[in-house]
Amino acid sequence: MASVAESGYIPASRRRRFSRRRVGQTTAPYVLLAPAVAVIGLVLAYPLYLLVKMSFQEYGIRSLFTHKGTWIGTANYARIFHDGEFWHVVLRTVLFTAACVSLTMVLGTAIALLLTRVSRFVRIALMAGLVLVWAVPVIVAVDLWRWMVDYEFGVANWTLTKLHVGNFVRHDWFANPWSGLGVFVALIVWGAIPFVTITVYAALAQVPKELLEAAAIDGAKPWSVFREVTMPLLLPIFVILTSLSIIWDFQVFQQIWVMLDARPSSDYYTMAIYAFHQSFQISEYGLGAAIAVVMVAFMFVATLVYLRQMLKTGEVY
């Protein structure tokens, strides 16, 4: 009904423009927002500005105490763009993210679809299992995976040897960066699947049954029903989940950092680690900031896609 107010709690009076009620109405939302805005401004907005500023500065150990960097224009950017290692790191991060995100989305969706097929008992058990995995803190997950892939007593090596995948006795997974990064992909995908699966499953449950039935009556096979009806309806959720996953996986830091005892070899540098290394280990804070800015730029696309979808589905009017 069009007669329902869209303009807020009790729309402000036009007639009594200067009444106290009117003033209360207009300032109230700002007062309510103020604390949240203050905190976010302090911890996000200002540092974000500082990040960009620092990326144009020479900012070393001394600057940490004087709080002053030296303006050097785009020199930091010039340095990283001409640095072969930087491009290796970028490529590694992009490939790593692609692997993590695609595996997470495909496996997560597959398990969500599986949940709709299994019996009640299996579904409840599987859901509980997923929630359990979801609840495991990242650092704990890192420790337990590190234990599983331990070169000497790790259960992974034993199992793979017994399954005749190859001889994995005393196999050091991290000796080769490819297999080492593979472990990180597995660890991250394992940890990310529950969120994706549970969200997609919740969305699947909201697809109107009549639509699926109508498609079936119209002669669509199960796969076509999925592709023609379910997929398009779930598209918003896929867009949101994919962009979130990209954001999360692109800045991977703590898994690698903790697993490799805070001393990862340069073969394991992702952009976040590279930036961290340049800043906190070499004290080239300006350079680190420039790398971080490039990283934010990379993630910006995913952010835009996410924002658009959220604003569309979030009923923001």
Partner 1 sequence: MSRKRLRNLGWDAIGILVLIVMVFPVYWMVTTAFKPGQKILSYTPQWFPTHPVLSNFRDAIHQQFFWDAVKNSLIVTSVVVVLSVVLAFLAALALAKFSFYGRKPFIVVILGVQMVPLAALIIPLYITMARLGEVDKLSGVIIMYLTFALPFAVWTLRGFLLGVPKELEESAMVDGATRFGAFVRILLPLLGPGLVATSLFAFILAWNEFIIAYVFLHTPEKQTLMVWLASFTTLRGTDWGPLMAGATLCALPVIVFFLLVQRRIAFGLTAGAVKG
Partner 2 sequence: MAEIEFLHVGKVYGGDTLAVSDLNLKIGEGEFVVLVGPSGCGKTTALRMVAGLEEVTEGEVRIGDQIVNDLAPRDRDIAMVFQNYALYPHKTVYENLAFGLRMRKVPKEEQRRRVEEIAQKLGLSDMLRRRPGQLSGGQRQRVAMGRAIVREPKAFLMDEPLSNLDAKLRVQMRAEISRIQKTLHVTTLYVTHDQVEAMTMGDRVAVMRDGVLQQVDTPQKLYDSPANLFVASFVGSPPMNLFEATVEQGGTQLAFGETRLDLGFRSLPDYAGRRVIVGIRPEEVREASGWDGARVRGRVLLVEALGAEQIVHIQIAATPLERADLVDAAAQPPGPSLGVEDLERSVTLLGRFDRHLLLTPGEAVEVAIDPRLLHFFDLETGIALPTAAVPAVAGVAG
Q: Which residues bind partner 2 (CB under 8 A)?
A: 1-7, 10-16, 19
Strand, coil or helix: 257: helix
- Minimum distance between the CB of residue 316 and partner 2, rounded to whole angstroms? 18
Interacting residues of 281 by C-beta distance below 8 A, sequence separation 6+? none
What phi and psi, each to the nearest 5 degrees, are found at residue 315?
Answer: 55, 50
**261 alpha carbon, distance to own chain's centre:** 23
Question: Quick one: what does residue 105 bind among partner 2, partner 1, none, with the CB cut-off 5 to 8 Å set by partner type?
Answer: none
Q: Toward partner 2, which CB reaches closer, 19 or 102?
A: 19
- Minimum distance between the CB of residue 203 and partner 2, rounded to whole angstroms? 24
- Minimum distance between the CB of residue 255 and partner 1, rounded to whole angstroms? 10
- Minimum distance between the CB of residue 105 and partner 1, rounded to whole angstroms? 15
- Minimum distance between the CB of residue 204 and partner 1, rounded to whole angstroms? 10
d(CA 40, CA 301): 22
- Burial annotation 92-120 (CB, 10 A radius, 16+ → b, else e): bbeebbebbbebbbebbbebbeebeeeee
Q: Toward partner 1, which CB reaches closer, 44 or 214?
A: 44
Question: Quick one: what does residue 206 bind among partner 2, partner 1, none, with the CB cut-off 5 to 8 Å set by partner type?
Answer: partner 1
Distance in Å from the first CA to the final CA of the chain: 16
Q: Toward partner 2, which CB reaches closer, 7 or 119?
A: 7
Return the closest-CA partner of residue 284 out of 85, 48, 66, 76.
76
- Minimum distance between the CB of residue 29 and partner 1, rounded to whole angstroms? 4
Q: Toward partner 1, which CB reaches closer, 215 or 277?
A: 277
Q: Toward partner 1, which CB reaches closer, 88 or 190?
A: 190
**250 alpha carbon, distance to own chain's centre:** 7
Q: Toward partner 2, which CB reaches closer, 8 or 314?
A: 8
- Minimum distance between the CB of residue 10 and partner 2, rounded to whole angstroms? 6
Rg over CA atoms, the chain: 25
How many residues in total does the chain contain?
317
Helix H segments across the chain? 20-40, 46-54, 61-66, 75-81, 84-117, 120-135, 138-148, 155-162, 177-205, 209-217, 222-225, 231-250, 254-259, 271-276, 285-313
Q: Toward partner 2, which CB reaches closer, 6 or 315?
A: 6
Question: Quick one: what does residue 13 bind among partner 2, partner 1, none, with the CB cut-off 5 to 8 Å set by partner type?
Answer: partner 2
Helix H segments across 206-280? 209-217, 222-225, 231-250, 254-259, 271-276
Q: Is the dihedral of CA 81, 87, 89, 91 positive or negative?
A: positive
Question: Quick one: what does residue 95 bind among partner 2, partner 1, none, with the CB cut-off 5 to 8 Å set by partner type?
Answer: none
Strand, coil or helix: 57: strand
Question: Quick one: what does residue 175 bind among partner 1, partner 2, none, with the CB cut-off 5 to 8 Å set by partner type?
Answer: none
- Minimum distance between the CB of residue 4 and partner 2, rounded to whole angstroms? 7
Question: Quick one: what does residue 16 bind among partner 1, partner 2, none, with the CB cut-off 5 to 8 Å set by partner type?
Answer: partner 2
Q: Toward partner 1, which CB reaches closer, 87 or 147?
A: 147
Question: Quick one: what does residue 132 bind among partner 1, partner 2, none, with the CB cut-off 5 to 8 Å set by partner type?
Answer: partner 1
Question: Quick one: what does residue 125 bind among partner 1, partner 2, none, with the CB cut-off 5 to 8 Å set by partner type?
Answer: partner 1
